[in-house]
Copies of this chain bind each other. A is one copy, B any other.
């Protein structure tokens, strides 16, 4: 008795089960920290063998969405980092508010010159000298996003070294006398992670990312830094007040 599955649709059964469970997590039917139904019960609801369910759960576990505890059950790990998009969002505060430990890490700091896009954002001339900082931000050792940040090399000389020491953009700006700043226009798109970012974010290839382009302004509205950030979509959710 067998038959792989009814439709032979070219999509593996375990994938359908995994997608179904993930949808359940995403839409809140299974809350974070909560116990999933037992493997046998899931198998019954999907009318599928228990081993098929295990395959699905293994895929979800590998992505960090669930965690199995022998003898007890399988629990929703989810806990997407809620990331409010307001004018004064600070990464460290967001992560800290979730009871997790924020960390920044410098990948590379280098000299660069302004492209047309960056020049427009920072109100500089094309070709103006810049400091480019490639950094990664983590919550509890889980990479959340990688960012490319540009600052004017004239306004912030040696910014790369300062960031390497402070590991914080807020502290970097404070070092140059910027007391406070706010978020300017923010553009959000989505894409697929490239090989470089995949390694940095510890993501398998082909995963979706959220791409955020934003410029921070001082209180007079003068542009300070502009950023191009790539978030692991499965680890964050952006909250926009309406």
| A14 interfacial by beta-carbon distance below 8 Å | yes
Count the copies. 2
Main secondary structure on A side of the interface with B: loop
Please provide the chain A residues from 56 to 93 with a CB less than 8 Å away from any CB of chain B in the complex.
59
Contacts of A204 in B (CB 8 A): 7
| A177 interfacial by beta-carbon distance below 8 Å | no
- CB < 8 Å neighbour of A10 from B7, B59, B205: B59
Q: How far is the CB of A46 from chain B (nearest CB, A)?
A: 14
Task: Give chain A's interface residues, CB within 8 Å of chain B.
Answer: 7, 9-12, 14-15, 18, 59, 204-206
- CB < 8 Å neighbour of A11 from B7, B15, B59, B205: B15
Most buried by B among A10, A12, A205: A10
The 10 closest A-B pairs by CB, nearest first: A10-B15, A10-B12, A11-B11, A10-B14, A10-B11, A7-B206, A11-B15, A7-B205, A9-B206, A7-B204
Assembly CA distance A9 to B15 (angstroms): 8
Q: How far is the CB of A231 from chain B (nearest CB, A)?
A: 21
**15 CB < 8 A contacts A-B:** A7-B204, A7-B205, A7-B206, A9-B15, A9-B206, A10-B11, A10-B12, A10-B14, A10-B15, A10-B18, A10-B59, A11-B11, A11-B12, A11-B15, A12-B12
Contacts of A9 in B (CB 8 A): 15, 206
Contacts of A206 in B (CB 8 A): 7, 9
Assembly CA distance A138 to B172 (angstroms): 67
What is the chain B residue whose CB lies nearest that of A204?
A: B7
Contacts of A7 in B (CB 8 A): 204-206
Assembly CA distance A204 to B7 (angstroms): 8
